[in-house]
Structure 1
Amino acid sequence: MARGHFKRLPVVDAEDCPVGIVSRSDLLKVHLRTDEDLAHQVRFELLAVLKPEHASAVDVRAEEGRITLSGTLPDASLLPVMERLVRAAPGVVDADVRLVAPD
């Protein structure tokens, strides 16, 4: 968009029918989130995957868009899920997952 000096682009579906418009500000807005907002979003997402008592055992910290998770999980199979969950949160630029779980 920047190279072509476009401020907006049409969004089309699989049949090339217009379904909306996206602007540069729409794309950049997600990266303007505060660290507090990012940490809150990740905590909210954790509750969708973990029981509240397990989610409370996970510490979520954000610094310049980088999320660090530390603490314990009830099951080792949840480790890759947690990393995908964090990396998928809009505005997260990196993730450091330092969670431990029983073998």
Structure 2
Amino acid sequence: MRRLGDTAKAGSTRAENLMTTPAVTIHPDATLPQAARLMADRHIKRLPVVDADGTLKGIISRADLLKVFLRTDEELATEIRRTVVDRLFPLSHEAVKVTVAQGIATLTGQVRDGNLIPLAERLARSVEGIVDVHCRLDAPPKA
């Protein structure tokens, strides 16, 4: 009985009869966790990504979301160290500790250039599979 609506849709010959209405969409600047939450809340398997004009930019599927989270915390920490810490802080990268637990990255330690700390946080946050970032980097005061 719960799938009666799906069974009725199976005999459809037009796309409009198969689609959820109104269409559930998301904007390109939304985060993956936001997309996952929307899909779960609305019980949908695919989510169209549309720009401000309503132009279709792509579609996110459940499988797409899962692929991002299949990497281990160790793999995520290694990527943050390699692509963020080593590149932004070549002189002080050894003083930075990167840990990841359940997709939440924590950066701790002291770096030479405090102006790069916000960038480090943004770049770490952009690593696919990272859910959140706790940035606890510090820099010595400027003389």
Q: State the TM-score bracket (shorter-chain normalisation).
A: 0.7 to 0.9
Out of 84, 87, 98, the position equivalent to 1:48 is 87
Sequence identity percentage: 49
Q: 1:47 is matched by which residue type in structure 2?
A: D
Partner of 1:31: 69
Partner of 1:59: 97
| Whole-angstrom CA distance in 2 between matches of 1:19 and 1:98 | 36
TM-score (norm 1): 0.74
Q: 1:92 is matched by which residue type in structure 2?
A: I
Deviation at 1:76, TM superposition (A): 1.5
| Whole-angstrom CA distance in 1 between matches of 2:105 and 2:45 | 30
Higher relative contact order (CA 8 A, sep 6+): 1
Deviation at 1:58, TM superposition (A): 0.6
CA separation of 1:22/1:82 partners in 2, compared to 1, >3 Å: closer, same or farther? same
Instruction: Count residues in correspondence.
Output: 102
| Whole-angstrom CA distance in 1 between matches of 2:124 and 2:109 | 15
More strand by share: 1
User: For the aligned residues, what is the CA RMSD?
Assistant: 2.4
Larger radius of gyration: 2
| Whole-angstrom CA distance in 1 between matches of 2:64 and 2:93 | 31
Deviation at 1:53, TM superposition (A): 3.2
Give CA-to-partner distance per residue, 1:36-72, whole Å, 9 cap, x none. Answer: 011011003222322x332121100111111111111
Structure 1 unaligned runs (5+)?
none
Structure 2 unaligned runs (5+)?
1-38
